[in-house]
Chain A
């Protein structure tokens, strides 16, 4: 923005931009609370990931009081559910405060704090049940394996807490729009609202599963429950969850990165349309996680496969739009030949480098995703390590590296410290270590998955069967990749805590980068902000995709399941 000054100090190949914008104390406190809690989850979840990775590689034998599947549950719950949700909410608050009137309203902050404490309490309760080995059910908690009821209560708190967070965002958004009648909302705020709309719609599925099935069943108030319905409700939520992780990364790419690379956002309408397509198509697609199970008619599985392919389209749009932003910025800086603009990008600036590497990895993540959704092809890879490799490239690389790239400037922007050149270099090294570790781990997982190695399994040679033995060298490579990734987590955490408590204080805080629009950009059509229309279509699509199959599940009336504790 215009209040940006380029003073000091030398930073990467550019000067570190400082800004006169300052978050209010209350907002800083709120957002930092979210970031810190998410980093604690990242640490525990990452450590659990390291241990189970070493066990699966056959490199360590776990002590008897620490189970492989218990660690795997902690890894999944703390990283995929807790870290992501809390970090995303914190990041959104920062952009909401920055773009909607410089601070959050008092009302919004009240909801935000309620949401925060609900999420923290829920996470802690769930984590305790995992640590006491009463909830070794992995983060998908498929019935009829039954965890302690408090695990499900914790999960419910986490989700309901995030609803309060969503309300805090909605309040800020509605207030701004009321005060700026007829104006299009700032892009960041629009995208945050779209993501939270998607999140609330999606979580309805898992909340119904948890509140009406798992909780009464695990407290013993209900002897049996229908497993197919519970899985269907879970995946109603489960695939949209993936987009809930991805969209905040897209927000950063669309809104913040153009500023960092010195470019302009070339369209105001297109990114909004992209996000609306996600709102429409990321929910009625859950069956592509259930393609190989009985009780769902083929026709409906195929229909949801078709819708899954539709949700690829906004990502295709994003790939072009983001790269076009880079190219236009590079050409503006004088790049002439075909790919000279690539060299004009600030590769030595970790705020750009981390998400740029994230984007490259996403090419492979995306390719794997299209394969997984391809109906019959799912039989070749379903529940093999291919799947694990896929979501470590998408969530644990594309999303996570982008979040790391966000955290290193967001923390100093909040607490008024400096993002020092040393930390910038360390963050670049961290990204390289991460990419290397992930290539070794996830790349190998894809290969060995195609060779038949199952996911979510402790070390086993299956009675020394030759097929299982052929996986062993790959498992070793995977473990080595896992060790590198753990080093990457530790480095990232070192950076964050240095920036939190030890980095030198700045007179002016680090600039909060918000991209500006190019001159020619037209005002987005009003229809894009008519939420009733988009939410309406989203609900209709879900009804089309789900109502008949769910009705069939009730008519079919498969006998319910009593609980089992098999660990």
Chain B
């Protein structure tokens, strides 16, 4: 094939860079366990979500020294709980789902970027080191009030 020599050099460099990206991402993922949110283990009936544990009692539960489980139920157009207070340095295990359509749970300026799909529970863990009032919002279009769907995590 008439592939100029310089094109081979370029291709080697380009392909090499892509492989480098993949190796870095792969080591972080499978070596350090840094995956995007997923959860394979649990499904939940969106129509019975309010009577199914743990979403019958959404909110914050302490499960260890400065370690919490935060159960969030989303719906059009809000979250339960809407405001959460935690101490600085707290590790929070999110578990979230939706009662109706697809929602998102996104905290700007963090990597907490969760998709909430009916029938599934999304899990993610994050440690809040800095104090402040964190805005969380829905970042998947869910209807007429999508842009007012929000909550706060207050780190004290």
Contact = CB atoms under 8 A, between A and B. Distances in A.
Whether A and B touch (Cβ < 8 Å) is answered with: yes
Interface of A: 67, 69, 136, 138, 142, 144-145, 226-228, 231, 266-267, 269-270, 273, 290-298, 301-302, 305-306, 309-310, 312-313, 316-317, 320-321, 324, 370, 374-380, 382-384, 451-460, 462-463, 465, 467-468, 520-522, 525, 552, 556-562, 564, 566-567
B117 A295 contact: yes
Interface string B129-156: 0000101011111111111101010000
A193 B28 CA distance: 40
B115 A559 contact: no
A561 B43 CA distance: 12
Given A305-B25, A376-B28, A380-B111, 12 more contacts: A138-B141, A144-B118, A270-B1, A294-B39, A294-B122, A298-B38, A310-B18, A324-B7, A370-B21, A375-B35, A559-B43, A564-B76
30 contacts: A145-B142, A228-B120, A267-B2, A267-B3, A293-B115, A294-B39, A298-B35, A298-B38, A301-B38, A316-B14, A317-B7, A321-B7, A324-B4, A324-B6, A375-B36, A378-B36, A380-B111, A452-B106, A454-B139, A460-B148, A463-B150, A522-B2, A557-B43, A558-B118, A559-B119, A561-B118, A564-B76, A564-B143, A566-B142, A566-B144
Contact of A384 (B4, B19, B119, B139): B139
A79 B141 CA distance: 19
B47 A559 contact: yes
B117 A294 contact: yes
Nearest to A552: B40
Interface of B: 1-4, 6-7, 10-11, 14-15, 18-19, 21-22, 25-26, 28-30, 34-40, 43-47, 76, 100-102, 104, 106-109, 111-115, 117-123, 133, 135, 137-148, 150, 152
Contacts of A227: 102, 117-119
Contact of B114 (A270, A292, A374): A292
B32 to A, nearest CB: 10
Nearest to A557: B43
Given A226-B119, A460-B148, A382 B29 contact: no
A293 B122 contact: yes
Contacts, number: 221
Contacts of B142: 145, 566
Nearest to A558: B119
B76 A561 contact: no
A376 B135 contact: no
Contacts of B139: 382-384, 454-455, 457
A379 B36 contact: yes
A295 B25 contact: no
B147 A458 contact: yes
A316 B10 CA distance: 8
B26 A374 contact: no
Contacts of B29: 298, 302, 375-376
A320 B137 contact: no
B137 A462 contact: yes
B135 A467 contact: yes
Contacts of B109: 451-452, 467
A457 B119 contact: no
A231 B117 contact: yes
B100 A521 contact: no
A18 to B, nearest CB: 32
B92 to A, nearest CB: 15
Contacts of B148: 460, 462
Contacts of A458: 146-147
Given A295-B120, A559-B44, A69 B146 contact: yes
A382 B46 CA distance: 24
A437 to B, nearest CB: 24
B76 A521 contact: no
